[in-house]
Structure formats: structure tokens, C-alpha cells
Amino acid sequence: MTINDGRQLNHPFRRDVAAGWLRIVHPHDRADMQRYLQEEVLQRQQPFDRNYRIVRLKDQQERWVHGLGKLTLDEHGRVVQMVGVIQDITERKRAEAQMSLQFSALTAAANGIVITDHRGKIEWVNPSFTQLTGYSAAEAIGQSPRVLKSGQHPPAFYATMWATVSTGNVWHGELINKRKDGRLYTEDMTITPVRGADGQIAHFVAIKQDVTERRQLENRLQQAQKMEAVGTLAGGIAHDFNNILAAMFGFACLLQQDTEGNAPAQESIAEILIAANRAKDLVQQILTFSRKREQARQVIRLDMVVKEAMKFLRASLPADIQIETHIAAAAPAVLADPTQIYQVAVNLATNALHAMEGRPGRLTVSLEEFTPDEAFIQAHRELKPISYARLTVTDTGHGMDAKTMERIFEPFFTTKPVGKGTGLGLAVVHGIVQSHDGSLTVESQLGEGTTFRLYFPAQMPNEIPTDSPTSSLPCGHGEMVLLVDDEAALTKVFQAMLKRLNYQVIVSNQPRAAVALFRENPAQFALVITDLTMPEMNGLEVTRQLRAIRPDVPVILVSGFSSALTPENLREAGVRELLEKPVSITALAEVVQRALANVAS
């Protein structure tokens, strides 16, 4: 036999020699080799053909060998000898193990892997590719990667990709591809050229990672950051507008008193106050959106909220889509959060506009009173035999089939292309309606549009407060009031109202100057009224400094939003009362009297 060092073993086959040869076989393979020799070679007289390990006597090094041997028999059929060779295959075995490891790694990789020839024809894919795209290996092999094209990228995009890899460079980027079932997904892909022995590009290896969910999360985060920035801007605008509105509201109240007995003037002023109250509600919605105010339900009429939402949508409406509104005068009020109802109206209308995209259409929005009968309640068990405000949104879009309708309220379910929507709109609508103890129904057929009907339990409407004549208001006795606000228009209207209530007023539009003025003669002031938000220092700090000079001075704080103010920080600063802008003369009179009465007691 020829062993690795070239030495020849060519001798009669004897058991002692076989036993000596077995001693060089690796201990882990020795029992198996002995069985093989006995059963296959000696008994069945098969040629010896075996890969096995040995421990080389010279240096005790473990090697892999391939043994080939043939038995020689005498005239009686007895084994005389076995002649053969042993070839060292250690390096081949190592290469095979390395290749096996690499193949296992490629097969088990979590990312999709595609190997193509130099023309781009697919030669091999791993199981993760099938999981990602829906194409089995048998379906993909022989195809071009173009089978995944989504149509979302221009030809120049793919031309640049091919120009990069065909010149031997690695291409890395993101692209939108299409699965076998037609669904789009975003993948992060790296294509690496592989050169053959001749130095020419022989293959391309593409590694694909599905990043759809990651991109959606990043987009939502970016949207949230954008909305936070918009909210901050909206909060600032709402604060400034609130100051303007407070001046308008205050002077309208004074004018209402000055024209008492003048019916036409009173009627006009009443309309001004109604509009001012509507503007006040709008400011509160903006402050809620900007998170400057906690969401709170109140009894509201839906007609104004719906009209505002439609007005917002008209600005960006395509010319070939019309909006029709049918608002019943008798539509009842509901207990609701105005901002959330506004969001519901906008989400439904936006969803309808997407359904009509690219074609002429009509969006119809109606609001009316509705009382379900027994048959309707049987079909809609969540409704009760009470009065509802019913909001209906109908479009002439492409409609939906039954399978789609079953899933439209699922979060993140959408039929829109990637980048056209998150699938949260209708889920949000459903959640808001449910939280308001309402109900929602949808009717749709392919090619015939969609109708959403929302039912909100009716409530008694709020009465818009009107101010009483001055004679019935609690008035002062000439007490001195220090009025602090950086807005000159506000100090002017507050000064006028306080004088009408029989108070003396000293005005300061600079907080530091007001503190200095107070320090000169603290005893002359019976009361201090200060705005919260001012450039030099805020109203809480003004209060702290004034009470450090005179601890018993009563302070009234005026603010456009109060959710950030807790009873604890008001009490800590020494604030006696809180007034929210805009302030009516009635509210001002009552709060001032209450603050002064607490001092007297």
C-alpha cells in the first residue's frame, strides 16, 4: 500500500499486519474501519474504497486519507494479500468543509441572497429570498431579477445600477420591489461582482434585506417630529391670536354695556360675541393640537366642526372633484372633543379623495338628526332608541370589495401604494367614534363608491353666555389694581373694564418695571393682575417676586392656556386665582371680588 510519505506496504495479508495497520487509523474511526474490513472487504470480498482519518506515526498529526485496495486470492479462494494505495486528501477535505460551511451559512442567512451569471440570469437563491419575494428557487432560477421590478423607479435608476456593477464596482442602495403576490416592499440591497480565474466578471451576488417596516417607522417618526414642530408653531400663533381675541372680546363686552337699550346695536354685538366664542373654540382646538391644552369633551354642535374641516380640504382639492355639504339646521349637539371630531371629518374626507384620485368625482358630506327605529337597532345592536347626530360621508370613487371592507379598520392596513398612506386613517376614525359611545357603518361596492355613516349620541347644546349689565355685577370701592401685561391692547381693555367696575388701575407693560413700581409702595395695591407669558419673565416669577416683597398681596394670573399650570405650582407661586383668555367683564368682576374677599377673610 502506498501511504502519504511514499513508503510501500506490499505483503501477504495477515491478521497481525492488519492489526498493526489499524493502529494508525484515528481512534474514533478504528471500530468502524474494523467492521468495514471484516464485513465488506473480507467476507464479501469487495474492493477497499474508503475515506478515513489516520494519526501519522512520524509527528502524530491527524490527516484525512482515501484508501483504495484489492484482494488477491489463492487457488482455494482464500485471501492472500491486499494491494492498494493511500492518498492524502486532508486539504481537499478542508476545502470541502469550508465550502459546506459557506453553503450552510448562505442557506441559513436571514437576508435574501441571489447569485446570477455575468448576464444577470439567476443561478441560485437561498430560502430567505423565497420568504422575502414569494418566489421559490425553482421559479426564480433561470429568471432575470427584473421579475421583481415594481415600476416605482425610472429606467435611469436601473441603468446606473447596471453600469456600476458591470464595471466591477459594488452597488448599494434601497429600492422598491414587488413580491410574487403583487405587494410592494422596500429592500436594502448590495450587489457585488465576482471575478473568475481569468479575471473577468463571472457572477453577481446580491444580498437583500427587507426594510419596509423600518422605513415606515422612520417615516412615522419624521411625521411625528414634523407635527411636533408644526404644533409648536401653531401654539405660538394661537397664543398671539388669543391676545388679539381677548382685546376684541373685552371691548365687545364694554360696547354691549354702552349700547344697552339700543336693540339693533345689541343684536350686532351679540353676533360679534358669538363669532368671538367660535374663535375662542378654534384657538382651543389649535392649542389642543399643539399639546398646550389637554383634550376635553364638551357639548358642541357638529356643523361648525364639519364646515371648518371641509373648508380646510377645499384649499387643496383637485379641480375635477366637487364637495357638496348638506347640514340640517336641526342637527343636534353632541358631547365630544372638537379636535377629534375635526380629525374624523378630515380623515374620512381625505380617504374619499384618495378613492377618487385621477378621475372626476363628488364628495358629499351631510349632517342630520337621526332616531333609529326597532328594525334598525336590531341590525345595529350598539345603537339605542335615542336621538343621534348622523354624519354621512359619500364618495364616487372606485369602491371596495367585501374582502377589503373586512380589513379597512385594521391599523396599518391600506390599499394605497407605498408612500401614499400609513393605513392609520380609518383605524383612528373607528377608535374615536367608539370612544365617543358612537357607531360607524360602511357601505361600498366596486365601481360604485363608498358611504360612511357615523352616529354620535345627541346632547343638549351649551348656551352661549352673555354678560350682565354693570349694575348687576359685583363692583369695587376704588381699590388700586396693578395690571401687568406686555400686550398694550390687553392692558387697555382690562383697564377699561376694571375702571367700569369701579377700580383704580396702574398699568405696566414691562414685568421688571412692574416689580420695581410695586417695591416703591407695596401697600397701595389691593390686587395684582398679571399675564402668564411675557418676554422678560413669566407671570409666575412676577408673582414670586411681588410676594417676596409683600407676602399677603393677592395675585390673579391670566393665561391663554392652563393645562401646563397645576394647582401645586400655582399655590407655590402664590397665585390666588386663574383667568383664561378671552375674559368677559362678568368673569373678571367675579374673580376680582373673590380674590379681594379672601384677603378680607
The 10s digit of each residue's pLDDT in 195-213 is: 988 889 999 999 998 888 8
pLDDT tens track for 332-341: 888 888 878 8
Give the pairing type, strands 321-327 and 171-178.
unpaired
598 and 552 Cβ atoms separated by less than 8 Å: no
pLDDT score at 14:
46
Distance CA 422, CA 41 (A): 71
Which candidate, 1, 7, 509, places its Cα nearest to that of 18?
Answer: 1
What single string gives the DSSP state of each residue in 68-107? EEEEEE-TTS-EEEEEEEEEE-HHHHHHHHHHHHHHHHHH
Q: At 562, is the pLDDT very low, low, confident or very high (cuts 50, 70, 90)?
A: low
pLDDT at 530 over 70: yes
pLDDT score at 464:
39
Which candidate, 527, 550, 441, 414, places its Cα nearest to that of 476?
Answer: 527
Q: Specify the 3-state DSSP secondary structure of 45.
A: coil
Tell me the helix, strand and coil percentages in the chain, rounded to 5.
45, 25, 30
Distance CA 183, CA 591 (A): 63
Q: At 527, is the pLDDT very low, low, confident or very high (cuts 50, 70, 90)?
A: very high
Distance CA 354, CA 524 (A): 66
pLDDT score at 223:
58
Q: Specify the 3-state DSSP secondary structure of 124.
A: strand
For range 471-482, the mean pLDDT: 85
For range 55-74, the mean pLDDT: 84
pLDDT tens track for 369-415: 999 888 888 777 788 889 999 999 988 888 887 777 676 666 544 55
> Which residues, in sequence order, are CB contacts of 450 under 8 Å at separation 6+?
352, 355, 394, 395, 397, 399, 400, 442, 443, 444
For range 542-559, the mean pLDDT: 92
Select the more confidently predicted residue: 476 or 424.
476
**What is the fold, at CATH topology level, of the domain defined by 109-210?**
Beta-Lactamase (3.30.450)
pLDDT score at 17:
46
Interior angle at CA 85, CA 80 and CA 91, nearest 5: 155
Looking at the domain that runs over 295-459, which CATH code has it been given?
A: 3.30.565.10
At 459, the amino acid letter reads Q
Interior angle at CA 416, CA 413 and CA 420, nearest 5: 110
Number of H helices, E strands in the chain: 18, 20
pLDDT score at 517:
94
491-530 residues labelled b (16+ CB within 10 A) or e (exposed)? bbbbbbbbebbebebbbbbbbeebbebbeeeeeebbbbbb
R_g over Cα of the chain: 43
386 and 371 Cβ atoms separated by less than 8 Å: yes
Distance CA 319, CA 253 (A): 43
pLDDT score at 514:
92
Q: At 116, is the pLDDT very low, low, confident or very high (cuts 50, 70, 90)?
A: very high
The answer to whether 295-459 and 470-600 have equal CATH topology is no
| Homologous superfamily assigned to 470-600 | Response regulator (3.40.50.2300)
DSSP for residue 145 = G
pLDDT tens track for 7-54: 333 334 444 445 567 778 888 888 888 888 888 877 888 888 888 888
Choose from 98-112, 315-329, 403-417, 459-473 the range with maximum mean pLDDT: 315-329
What residue has cell string 368677559? 584
At 61, the amino acid letter reads Q
Q: Which three cell numbers stand for residue 403?
A: 374582502
257 and 266 Cβ atoms separated by less than 8 Å: no
Looking at the domain that runs over 15-95, which CATH code has it been given?
A: 3.30.450.20
For range 337-365, the mean pLDDT: 81
For range 322-338, the mean pLDDT: 86
pLDDT score at 4:
34
pLDDT score at 36:
86
Domain coordinates in residue numbering, the chain: 15-95, 109-210, 295-459, 470-600
Q: Which three cell numbers stand for residue 169?
A: 464596482
What residue has cell string 411681588? 546
447 and 399 Cβ atoms separated by less than 8 Å: yes
Tell me how far the alpha carbon of residue 43 is from its chain's centroid.
75
pLDDT tens track for 70-84: 877 777 777 777 777
Q: What is the 3-state secondary structure (H, E, C) of 396-457?
A: CCCCCCHHHHCCCCCCCCCCCCCCCCCCCHHHHHHHHHHHCCCEEEEEECCCCCEEEEEEEE
Omega cis (within 30) before 457: no
State the sign of the Cα–Cα–Cα–Cα dihedral 326, 332, 334, 338: positive
Choose from 241-250, 459-468, 497-506 the range with maximum mean pLDDT: 497-506
359 and 390 Cβ atoms separated by less than 8 Å: no
DSSP for residue 119 = T
Q: Which three cell numbers stand for residue 113?
A: 441572497
Longest C-alpha distance within the chain, in Å? 146
Q: Which three cell numbers stand for residue 116?
A: 446570477
pLDDT score at 418:
39
DSSP for residue 535 = S
Select the more confidently predicted residue: 584 or 139.
139
